Amino acid sequence: MTDSQTTSRPGTPRLKDLVRDVIRHYKHEKESEAHQIFRQSAGHKPKGVLPQTINPDEETVPGIEHPGSTGVIYCSDRAMANGFSYAESHAWANLGQGAPEVGPIPDSAPRPTSIPLPTDSLEYAPTTGVKALREAVANLYNDTYRKGKASQYTYENVCIVPGGRAGLSRVAAVIGDVYTSYQIPDYTAYDQVLSAFKRLVPVPTALEPRDKYKLDIEQTKKDIRTQGLAVILASNPRNPTGQVIKGNDLKELVSLGREGTTVILDEFYSWYIYPEHDRDYGRSISSAEYIHDVNDDSVIIVDGLTKNWRLPGWRVCWVLGPKNLVTALSQSGSFLDGGANHPMQLAALPLLDPVFVRSEKIALQKHFKMKRDHVLARLHELHLDVDIPPTSTFYIWLNLEKLPEPLNNGLTFFEELLKEQTIVIPGIFFDINPSHRRNLFHSPCHSFVRLSFGPPLEDLDKGLDAMDRVLKKARKHGMSGFGHHYKKSVDKNEMPPESPTVA
């Protein structure tokens, strides 16, 4: 039967497409080796499903249960089972990493190579952070986003925290019993936050590809009225889709903070904006621009040195918001994390100078835009065109649904690339599913992977070459060689020798 015989009139689906769609929707994760490996990993079994069972290999300490790992951690563990080693990480292409390259880039200032250690820095820092750094953060936001506005940030609006997750955890710890809105897809750690802090009742909203994953502000306002939403949690720019809320849409979102709803915005990628015109290089995005009163508007900003300054190892970040919030975060920080590293806070001070920041933004945006365009061009050569190219962040949200089974789902594609010493992040990790109940094949993120163009260019090409090899193998030998024979753990005979210990 030819294709023309299977279609009765324009617009009617072909029979083979209908059959393929039925098979796709009735596929179950129990039939997939890649999905079973995921479910057998500690913390990823469905919770709240009767009859409830205990995995004796996982829950060995009474009262302790695994919360489930974030996507990057799970994928790193699976990579290590396939021979990946952090000591020899450059042998692999890590397109899954959620961090930018940390080395020199064109036109950027030299990278830090040492830090001073004054005696006072050996003491604990306050749980809200070193006052001088808090002042520097407030000054940077005022200079960048609040010139000419009557309401200005001060150090009392800033809390320094040891990483973005620590900041989110501190905020979550001081939120009462409320309905919390979040979007799918979004940052993987939100899943763990919404699972661990039981008082936050998660209310999901699925963002649609046809709308370029845009948050519908009018629908959000309606949900606030009809569902009683008290908190909105979102990343902006958005991980993993690479899209950004800006202009009037961001202004409208911020306005909700004056109408009885708390808006929490993760702005870690605020510099990773890729302009169409050269004159726009150096501009960044923040909700701080649209806040009327820094102490009355219920808008909380989380950001730090991790992404924009390309210093993920420093673990120096901040939460910006009303003064009353900061006093609460000081209290939650005293029992959650104890505060950020004191010497690193002092070392960060010169990096927040507004003149330095403006220069660094331009260098970063030009370099990462070049890498984005390079990866998109290579994906096009592989016939893996990106439906919605990123306008921000350093991620590409790649839909695999047009590939033949089983390569058309993120988990299997990920496992096949591990065989080629390449890491990507399966899309299911961005489907915030706090109790892990949903059949993974039913996830709206199931056919996606997130590719990071954070690593250096040579690592990106290494990973794209690996994808090319997988696709060529599929074309040459068919699909029978895919979807099975995945390593559960590293073979001891294949483990690289450990580095000798220096006495």
pLDDT tens digits, 88-101: 888 999 999 899 99
Structure confidence at residue 14 as a pLDDT band (50, 70, 90): low
The two three-digit tokens of residue 81, written as one number: 């089972």
Looking at every residue in the chain, the average pLDDT score rounds to 88
More confident residue, 32 or 120: 120
Q: Is pLDDT at 434 greater than 60 in this prediction?
A: no
Asked if pLDDT for residue 386 goes beyond 70, the answer is yes
DSSP per-residue letters across 299-310: EEEEEETTTTTS
* Residue 403 clears pLDDT 90, i.e. is over it: yes
Per-residue pLDDT averaged across 37-44, rounded?
Answer: 72
**Which of 172, 195, 168, 100 has the alpha carbon at shortest distance from 394?**
100
Residue 464 · residue 378 · CB < 8 Å = yes
Strands 178-184 and 299-304: unpaired
Nearest-CA neighbor of 470 among 404, 416, 398?
416
The per-residue pLDDT for 490 is: 62
Q: Can you tell me the mean pLDDT for 134-159?
A: 98
Average pLDDT over residues 285-299: 98
To the question of pTM greater than 0.85 for the whole model, the response is: yes
pLDDT of 41 higher than 80: no
Residue 443 is predicted with a pLDDT of 84
List, for residues 259-270, the tens digit of each pLDDT value. 999 999 999 999
- Per-residue pLDDT at 144 exceeds 60: yes
**Roughly how many angstroms between the first and final C-alpha of the chain, as a whole number?**
74
Q: How high is the pLDDT of residue 485?
A: 87
The pLDDT score that the predictor gives to residue 47 is: 54
- Residue 426's CB is within 10 A of a number of other CB atoms, namely 31
Share of the chain above pLDDT 70, in %: 85
Percent of the chain whose pLDDT exceeds 90: 70
pLDDT at residue 55, rounded to an integer: 54
Q: Who wins on pLDDT, 444 or 437?
A: 444
